[in-house]
Structure formats: structure tokens, C-alpha cells
Structure 1
Amino acid sequence: MNKRELNRLKKKLKVTGNHVIFSLVFLVLGYIIAFSYHQTKSEFDNTAITGKQWERDLELRNQLVQLEEKNRSLQKELNDKQERVREIEKEMSQEAQVYFNLAEDAEKYRMYLGKVKVKGQGVEVTLADGDYNPEEVNVNNYIVHEHHVFKVINELYISGASAIAINGQRLSHNSYILCNGPVIEVDGYQHPAPFVISAIGDGDVLASALNLTGGVKDSLVNDNILFTLEKKAEITLEPLLGS
């Protein structure tokens, strides 16, 4: 092979190598463009699905608000009719002593079941979140949780409270309390802090039970909860929601 043929062969190999390199570059570029297209299309589809879900959630939320308003209206109507029934029973009780005794017993049972409004002396306990402490890493260490509320309620019942309410909502024998972020739920109804626990009973006895050394008050204060106790000459508790 002479020198001229050798140079011709080198040029041919150089051209072929350049073609291979360009082919690889275009192949990679085509793959990147195809991947970007599919990725963009997938994100668009997900956004469309999310938008439909948001519209559905908004519709359900509006329906829920309407149902709650209707329930409140029906609840008020029910309370008014129950009040009328009580008035009729009182009128009947005047006719004879026996009817009076029956109506009195019915009223007492309604009170225990939370069916009617009740009044009496008692105490009010307010539980509020502790003051912000920048040195405290965990915010849960100075906010009110459901177990703090349970401590107060259990002590009040043990001390003879006949009726208890949280932020005005009456408790029943099967009430439940759940912690849901910054609020607590009482039988499904949310209440923000501070939590005012009202209890009807002997005010002196209830207050003494809560103020025992090493008792409920000291336990809550140690958990950085702001505890306030006040005796009341008269407390009025509304009927149970949904009664």
C-alpha cells in the first residue's frame, strides 16, 4: 500500500468516525426530547385529575355545610317542642300529686340524660396553652391535649359533678374526646383552645378535689398548661347536641 492510498484510507475512517459520533449524539438528544414530552404529559394529566378531585371535594363540602345548617334548624325546632312538652307536663302535674311525681321523675331522668337545660352552682376550669418557650423544641410540650381534659373531667365526676360541658357543649355518658391538631373534637364537634370545662355540683367539694396537693392541678401545671379555676354561684348547661 503506497502513501496515497494510506492517506485516503485515513480520511475515510475519520469521516466514518464522525458519522458514528453524530449518530450517538442525535440518538441521545432524541431520547431526552421523548422523555421530556412524556413527563410533561404525565404531569398535565395528574394536574387535571387533581383539579377534578378538588371540585368534587368542594361540592361535598358545600353539601355538608347545608346539611349542618339544616340540622341546627331541626335541633332548634326539637328543643322548642321539648320545651312545650315540659310546660304541658307541668300543667298536668298541678291536677294531681301523682302526676306531679311522675313529671318530676321524668325531668330528673331527662337531666341525667342531657335532654334538658340544667342550672346550678359549680365550677369553671379553663385550660390554655402554655406560654411559648423558644428553648422548647417540641411544641406539644406546652399545648393542651385530650388527656389533660380527661384528667379534669374524671376528677369532677369522681367528686360528684352531675353535669359537665366543654366550651358549652354538654357531655353524655358515651361522649368521646379526640385531639385533632390545634383543636379537640367532642362527639365530632371541634373546639379550639382555651378549653372551658363547666361542671354543676357542690362548688366547694369540686374545687377542693382539683386543688389537692399533687393532684390534677399540679399535674397540669407541671405539663406547662395554664390552669384557672373559678367557683360559680350559677351555671347553665344547654341540652346535648342531637338530643
Structure 2
Amino acid sequence: MEGKTHRKRGELAVVAVFVVLGFLLALQLKSVRLYGSPTDATSAARLETLQELYNQATEERDKLQEQLDETQKELEDFRSAAATGDENAALKTEVDHLSMLAGLTDVEGPGVMVVMTDSTAENTTGDEADYLIHDSDLLTMLNELRDAGAEALSLNGQRVLTTSEVRCAGSVVLINGQRVSAPFVIYAIGDPATLYNALTMRNGVVDVLRQWKINVSVTMSDKLLIEKYTGVIPSEHLSPATQAEGEGAG
């Protein structure tokens, strides 16, 4: 089902690209009819540019989908192979454990839930940005949780991996290529008391944000569910390291 979901998403992305490009092409053809031959050369150049953009978008989509399908197939094949025979039970357990640590499976456990919303206080600095949550604030919060021993993290439902980007894009924040906006909800699985104390300590991250009237609540929980990562993990330039016998790691 997961593979079908990814394919459906990919197909929807391609349909969206066709719709946008079709609209742009229609406008371009209308321009050609209105202005006649003096714009023929310009129109041809624009059509060529649009065609190149379409080709690039299609190629990138196909490449990502192929990489995702291949990775998922390898994982399933490995799991199936590990599950055949009692002697491979330990190997299967190790595979499942590594998949969990890599963020490729849903996980649950105790931890804390952090909810962050933009300030509603009166603007006294003249700069509205001072009262909004930025990517740096989210990264500080996530890093503080990691340092306190968080074993799994999510931001607005997106699994946070070591490869996850968290950055501002206008009025929203990008995480794993997805746009999210306030309120920002962070789930962190780990020892609830340790995580809570790390965030709420005096002059800690929550204290600093509240000085700017940013609304932050931290709640301990006995059970949180963090869903698996569903995107593509970049590995185009990675390969297993090879080392000659007796050769040092340096």
C-alpha cells in the first residue's frame, strides 16, 4: 500500500506539472496570435524554455520515484530473506531494530509534546519578525531535545532525521520538503522528566522564547506515536568504504 501511495503522489505531481505547463503554453500561444510575426522568435524561445522545464521536472520525479521503489524493494527482500528459518531470527530482529533507528518504521513511547505558537503581544520593537517563530527557534528546540536524549522526533507530523532540513520559506517552514506553519507541534520520545527539565530549565530554550512572548507549552506523556519517514533519503554519492588489510583509517 505504501508503494501505491507514493506512486499516486508521484502521479498527482506529474498531473500538476502538466496542468501548469498547459496553462502557460496556452497563454504563450495566445500571445503569438495577438502580436503576430514580430514575436515569433521570442515565443519560440519561451516555448523551448517551458519544454526544458517540463522535461527537468519529469526526469526528477521519475528519478526520485525509481530510487524510492528500489530502496523499498531491497528492504522488503532483505526482511523476507531474514525471516526464512529460525537461524535468521536474530538477523531479522537486527534489521527491524536498525529500520526503527533509521526512522523507517512507526515508533511509540513516552516523552514530551511541545507546542509553539507565534506571539500575540503588542509589537514594541517595530519589527514583526521578532514576534514570529523562525527556523532557528525550531532547530534550537530540536537540538536541545536531542542533547537531552530524545530517541525519535517529529515536527507537525514529519519525522525528523539527521538528513531533514528545517528552514524558513516565506511565511512557512520547510521540513522534509513539506510546508508547515504555526502552531508547531514537536513530539519527542525519550525519558519524559529529562526532556521536560532540559527545555524548561532557567534561561533554557523555552525561557528565552517566552521572553519574546512566544507561546510555548511542554507536556509530558506516557505514550506518543511518531510516524515513519516517507520521503527519499539522499544517497547518490554514498558507497561502502573499502580499506586494504592493515591500512589505517587515517
Question: Per the shorter chain, which TM-score range?
Answer: 0.5 to 0.7
The 5 A counterparts of 1:18-33 are none
Q: CA deviation at 1:236?
A: 2.4
One-letter amino acid matched to 1:217:
V
The higher radius of gyration belongs to: 1
Q: Distance in 2 between matches of 1:212 and 1:169?
A: 27
Q: Distance in 2 between matches of 1:53 and 1:227?
A: 49
Match for residue 226 of structure 2 among 216, 231, 236: 236
The equivalent residue for 1:149 is 138
Q: CA deviation at 1:203?
A: 1.6
The equivalent residue for 1:210 is 199
User: For each residue in 1:112-145, what CA deviation from the matched residue of structure 2 results, as whole angstroms up to 9, or x when unmatched?
Assistant: 2222222222222111111052544211111001
Call closer, same or farther: CA 1:206–1:79 in 2, change over 3 Å: farther
Instruction: State whether structure 2 residue 94 is matched by structure 1 residue 102.
Output: no
Contact 2:192 2:220 in 1 (8 A): yes
Q: CA deviation at 1:211?
A: 1.4
Q: CA deviation at 1:86?
A: 7.4
The equivalent residue for 1:37 is none
Q: Which runs of 5+ in 1 are unaligned?
A: 1-44
The equivalent residue for 1:6 is none
The 5 A counterparts of 1:13-52 are none
SS in 2 for 1:208: helix
Contact 2:114 2:218 in 1 (8 A): yes
Contact 1:172 1:240 in 2 (8 A): no
Instruction: State whether structure 2 residue 148 is matched by structure 1 residue 159.
Output: yes
Contact 1:155 1:210 in 2 (8 A): yes
Contact 1:114 1:240 in 2 (8 A): no
Contact 1:170 1:241 in 2 (8 A): no
Q: Distance in 2 between matches of 1:193 and 1:131?
A: 13
One-letter amino acid matched to 2:186:
I
One-letter amino acid matched to 1:168:
G
Q: Distance in 2 between matches of 1:111 and 1:212?
A: 30
Q: CA deviation at 1:159?
A: 0.8
Cα RMSD for the two superposed structures: 3.7
One-letter amino acid matched to 1:175:
S
Call closer, same or farther: CA 1:211–1:72 in 2, change over 3 Å: farther
Q: Which runs of 5+ in 2 are unaligned?
A: 1-37, 234-250
The equivalent residue for 1:181 is 170
Q: Distance in 2 between matches of 1:130 and 1:160?
A: 29
Q: CA deviation at 1:213?
A: 1.8
SS in 2 for 1:185: strand
Call closer, same or farther: CA 1:230–1:86 in 2, change over 3 Å: farther
One-letter amino acid matched to 1:234:
L
The equivalent residue for 2:189 is 200
Identity of aligned residues (%): 26
Call closer, same or farther: CA 1:121–1:179 in 2, change over 3 Å: same
Give the TM-score, by structure 1 length.
Answer: 0.63
Give the TM-score, by structure 2 length.
Answer: 0.61
Contact 2:154 2:226 in 1 (8 A): no
Q: Distance in 2 between matches of 1:226 and 1:73?
A: 42
Specify which structure has the higher proportion of helix.
1
The equivalent residue for 1:88 is 80
Of the structure 1 ranges 129-138 and 213-222, higher mean CA displacement relative to structure 2 is found in 129-138
